[in-house]
C-alpha cells in the first residue's frame, strides 16, 4: 500500500543503497537530487489528493454498494443567506444531507446552524478557522481546530461529530496525528464539481451527472448564489433516475 510511512521507508532505503553503492561505483550527484525531488513530488501529490489516502484513511465513496444511494455534502456553512435556501429545498424533496460546518461560522450564525440540526441533517467538523494556510498547521494547532469546533457543535445538543473533512482537501502527517488523537473519520468525496469557482451552473450540473454512480459522495457548498439552482435540478435528476440521497453515515453503513 502506497502511503506516507511506506513511501518514506522505501526512499530512505533507496538513498542508503545509493550511498553504499557510491563507495564502489561513481554516481552523479544528480541521481540523489532526482530521488529527493521525486519523493517531494509524491508527498505534494499525496497532500492534495484525498483519494490517495496517503497520510490518513479517508472515505471518498462507497465502492461496494449496488444500491442507488449517494451522499450530498455541503461545506463551509452556515451562510447567512444560502444555507436556509438549501435547507428549504432539502425539506421540499424530503432529503437528509451532511453539512461540514466551520466553527467560526457557527459562532456567527448560530440560529441558522440550529436549523440544520433541527431538520435532522448530519453535522461534520470542517475546522474552526478554515484559514488559507491551515494545511501547514502543526499537530497541536490541528487538535485545537478540531476540538474547538466539536465543542461548539456539542453546545447545540449534538453529539460530538464523528466526521471531519479537511479544508481544501489537504492532508499532512500533522493532521494524521491529530485525527488519531480526536478519533474522527475523515471524509473526502468522489465528485467535486468546483461549484464555488465555476460560474456556469449547467456545466457544474453536467459534471455531477456524468460522474454520478451508486455510492458517490458529492461535494457542494451552501455559500454561493448558484447553489439553489444547482441543488434543485440535481434533486430532480436524482428522483428521475431512481437515486436516493442519504447522509454520509447512512452511505458508510451500506453494503
Q: Tell me the pLDDT tens digit for each residue of 4-32.
A: 788 888 878 888 888 888 888 887 878 88
Spatial CA neighbour of 78 closest among 151, 184, 160, 149: 149
Residues 88 and 180 in one domain: yes
Q: Would you state the pLDDT for residue 8?
A: 81
Residues 111 and 180 in one domain: yes
Backbone angles phi, psi at 39, to 5 degrees: -65, -45
Catalytic site residue 75? yes
Q: Would you state the pLDDT for residue 54?
A: 82
- What burial class does residue 215 get, using C-beta atoms within 10 Å of its C-beta: 0-12 exposed, 13-18 middle, 19+ buried? buried
Q: Is residue 77 part of a domain?
A: yes
Q: Any idea which residue has 456553512 for its cell?
A: 77
Length of the chain: 255
Which long-range contacts does 181-185 make (Cβ < 8 Å, 24+ apart)? 181/139, 181/143, 182/143, 182/146, 182/147, 182/150, 184/125, 184/146, 185/59, 185/252
The alpha helices in 93-219, defined as continuous H runs, are: 103-108, 110-118, 139-154, 173-182, 201-211
Q: Is residue 146 part of a domain?
A: yes
Residues 167 and 211 in one domain: yes
Q: Which of 126, 174, 184, 221 is catalytic?
A: 221
Q: Would you state the pLDDT for residue 31?
A: 82
Q: Is residue 53 part of a domain?
A: no
Q: Is residue 135 part of a domain?
A: yes
Q: Would you state the pLDDT for residue 255?
A: 60
Averaged over 136-163, what is the pLDDT? 97
Lowest model confidence (mean pLDDT) among 15-29, 103-117, 240-254: 15-29
Domain residues for the domain of 78 are 58-253
Residue, of 208 and 66, whose pLDDT is higher: 208
Q: Would you state the pLDDT for residue 146?
A: 99
CA-to-CA distance for 201 and 33, rounded, in angstroms?
45
Query: How many separate domains does the chain show?
Result: 2
pTM confidence score: 0.90
Residues 64 and 187 in one domain: yes
Confidence bin at 1 (pLDDT 50/70/90): low
The alpha helices in the chain, defined as continuous H runs, are: 4-21, 29-48, 82-92, 103-108, 110-118, 139-154, 173-182, 201-211, 227-240, 248-253
Catalytic site residue 111? no
Residues 154 and 120 in one domain: yes
CA-to-CA distance for 112 and 110, rounded, in angstroms?
5
CA distances from 19 to 22, 28, 29, 66 (A): 5, 11, 11, 51
Lowest model confidence (mean pLDDT) among 11-15, 53-57, 171-175, 200-204: 11-15
Q: Are 116 and 78 in contact (CB under 8 A)?
A: yes
Averaged over 92-119, what is the pLDDT? 98
Kindly report the average pLDDT of the chain as a whole number. 94
Instruction: Pick the last residue of a domain from 48, 69, 84.
Output: 48
Q: Which of 75, 76, 195, 222 is catalytic?
A: 75
Lowest model confidence (mean pLDDT) among 37-46, 102-111, 148-157, 190-199: 37-46
CATH of the domain at 232: 3.20.20.370
Q: Any idea which residue has 522505501 for its cell?
A: 10
Amino acid at each position: 500500500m502506497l502511503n506516507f510511512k511506506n513511501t518514506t521507508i522505501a526512499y530512505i532505503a533507496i538513498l542508503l543503497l545509493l550511498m553504499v553503492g557510491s563507495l564502489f561505483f561513481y554516481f552523479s550527484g544528480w541521481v540523489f537530487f532526482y530521488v529527493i525531488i521525486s519523493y517531494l513530488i509524491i508527498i505534494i501529490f499525496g497532500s492534495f489528493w484525498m483519494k490517495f489516502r496517503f497520510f490518513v484513511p479517508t472515505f471518498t465513496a462507497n465502492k461496494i454498494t449496488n444500491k442507488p444511494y449517494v451522499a450530498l455534502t455541503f461545506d463551509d456553512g452556515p451562510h447567512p443567506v444560502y444555507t436556509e435556501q438549501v435547507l428549504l429545498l432539502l425539506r421540499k424533496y424530503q432529503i437528509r444531507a451532511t453539512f461540514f460546518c466551520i466553527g467560526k461560522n457557527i459562532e456567527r450564525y448560530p440560529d441558522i446552524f440550529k436549523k440544520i440540526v433541527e431538520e435532522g441533517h448530519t453535522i461534520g467538523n470542517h475546522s474552526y478557522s478554515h484559514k488559507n494556510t491551515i494545511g501547514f498547521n502543526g499537530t497541536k494547532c490541528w487538535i485545537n481546530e478540531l476540538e474547538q469546533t466539536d465543542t461548539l457543535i456539542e453546545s447545540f445538543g449534538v453529539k460530538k461529530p464523528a466526521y471531519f473533512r479537511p479544508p481544501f482537501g489537504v492532508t499532512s502527517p500533522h493532521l494524521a496525528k491529530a485525527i488519531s488523537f480526536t478519533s474522527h473519520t475523515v471524509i473526502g468525496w468522489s465528485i467535486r464539481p468546483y461549484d464555488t469557482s465555476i460560474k456556469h451552473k449547467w456545466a457544474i450540473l453536467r459534471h455531477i451527472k456524468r460522474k454520478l454512480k451508486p455510492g458517490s459522495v458529492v461535494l457542494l457548498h451552501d455559500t454561493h448564489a448558484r447553489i439553489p439552482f444547482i441543488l434543485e435540478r440535481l434533486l430532480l435528476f436524482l428522483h428521475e433516475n431512481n437515486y436516493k440521497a442519504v447522509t454520509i453515515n447512512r452511505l458508510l453503513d451500506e453494503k
